[in-house]
């Protein structure tokens, strides 16, 4: 049986781009908070609110998101394995980082 998981994969890619990209300006933090609020419950938003702050001199840009596996784990639930490639910048140093 073939299941179309394009919608789930696109959801994960859009979430990862919003969640794993940030800048430390007030406007960028507010824009990121608004964007990830589409994906996180209020409780998770509250937990995440202190993660990215203007006093932390690190920014990140997502360069690629790969969805490795999508498995149905309930009637309306899916488990997704994915990889995020980022360029993380701190001061003048930039480094490539991969998160799974």
Residues with Cβ within 8 Å of 80's Cβ and at least 6 positions away in sequence, in order, are 8, 9, 12, 67, 69, 70, 71
pLDDT (tens place) for every residue of the chain, 100 residues total: 557 889 999 999 999 999 999 998 889 999 999 999 999 999 998 888 778 888 888 999 999 999 999 998 988 899 999 999 999 999 889 999 998 9
Dump pLDDT digits (tens) for 71-96.
989 888 999 999 999 999 998 899 99
CATH class of 6-99: alpha beta
Q: How far apart are CA 49 and CA 43, in angstroms?
A: 10
Q: How far apart are CA 91 and CA 70, in angstroms?
A: 37
Strand pairing category for 78-90 and 58-72: antiparallel
Whole-structure pTM value: 0.86
Exposure class string for 58-68: b at 16+ Cβ within 10 A, else e: ebbebeebebe
Mean pLDDT, the chain, integer: 91
Where exactly are the structural domains of the chain? 6-99
């Amino acid at each position: 049986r073939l299941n179309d998981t394009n919608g789930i994969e696109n959801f994960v890619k859009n979430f990862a781009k919003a969640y794993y990209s940030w800048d430390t300006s007030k406007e960028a933090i507010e824009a990121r908070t608004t964007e990830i609020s589409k994906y996180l419950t209020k409780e998770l938003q509250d937990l995440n609110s202190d993660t990215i702050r203007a006093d932390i001199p690190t920014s990140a840009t997502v360069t690629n998101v790969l969805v490795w596996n999508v498995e149905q784990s309930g009637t309306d639930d899916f488990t997704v394995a994915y990889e995020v490639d980022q360029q993380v910048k701190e001061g003048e140093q930039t480094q490539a980082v991969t998160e799974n």
